Amino acid sequence: MATIGLDRLYYAKITEGENGDETYETPSPLAKAISAELSVELAEATLYADDGAAEVIKEFQSGTLSLGIDDIGVAAASDLTGATIDDNHVLISTSEDGGDPVAIGFRAKKANGKYRYFWLYRVKFGIPATNLATKGDSITFSTPTIEGTVLRRNKLDGQGRHPWKAEVSEGDDGVNQEIITGWYSEVYEPVFAAGTEG
């Protein structure tokens, strides 16, 4: 079903254990969302046998998330880009900056009034782009855009795989309402019955 809206943009800081597995802090609001564009790159290989394609493998390699937001606060900018906040609460960006990956959550409103919810498990952001213009005869809003690379996470799910995205639609068969109401209280962890295979 088509989506007609976007809101509730959150991020969660990541801490990596000694083995590289991620744990997520409690999600925090990032900004008011204007747009989100997600593009995905696949690693692809084709095995040819008997004069034809015998096997085709397509796997997630990485993605790009471009967020249009109303404004990025000083604390969120520091968390996402690695910029520092000085003693006067001024955000200082340096050439050595490089933010740590974070998880990104948001929801998109569907035409039926229900929502589709998302968590991207590991996104590494660059410096926000800023567009400024002088005021002319009409009012033009200038808003920042921040772009990040979406990566799979290190931590395995219950099927021994590396997830990169969680997505659920409100009201779908089998979706427990508690999943929806708790979506922003913590980063969603995949749940699989013991012994199931994908």
- Residues 46-96 have pLDDT tens digits of 777 777 777 777 677 778 888 877 777 788 888 888 888 889 988 887 777
Structural domain includes residue 79: yes
Structural domain includes residue 198: no
Structural domain includes residue 158: yes
Domain housing 75: 7-132+145-181
% of the chain with per-residue pLDDT over 90: 28
Structural domain includes residue 50: yes
User: What's the pLDDT score for residue 131?
Assistant: 56
Residue 5 gets which letter from DSSP? -
User: What's the pLDDT score for residue 100?
Assistant: 86
160/71: higher pLDDT: 160
Neighbouring C-beta atoms of residue 64, cutoff 10 Å: 14
Neighbour-count burial for 133-165, b at 16+ CB within 10 Å, e otherwise: eeeeeeeeeebbbbebebbbbebebeeeeebbb
The tokens of 132 are what? 């400024």
pLDDT of 184 higher than 90: yes
Structural domain includes residue 140: no
Q: What is the mean pLDDT of residues 143-159?
A: 86
pLDDT of 27 higher than 90: yes
The tokens of 196 are what? 């199931």
- Residues whose CB is less than 8 angstroms from the CB of residue 136 and which lie 6 or more positions away in sequence, other chains included: none
Structural domain includes residue 190: no
Q: How many domains does the chain have?
A: 1
- Residues whose CB is less than 8 angstroms from the CB of residue 3 and which lie 6 or more positions away in sequence, other chains included: 108, 109, 110, 111, 116
User: What's the pLDDT score for residue 32?
Assistant: 76
Structural domain includes residue 52: yes
pLDDT of 144 higher than 90: no
Q: What is the mean pLDDT of residues 164-188?
A: 92
Average model confidence (pLDDT) across the chain: 81
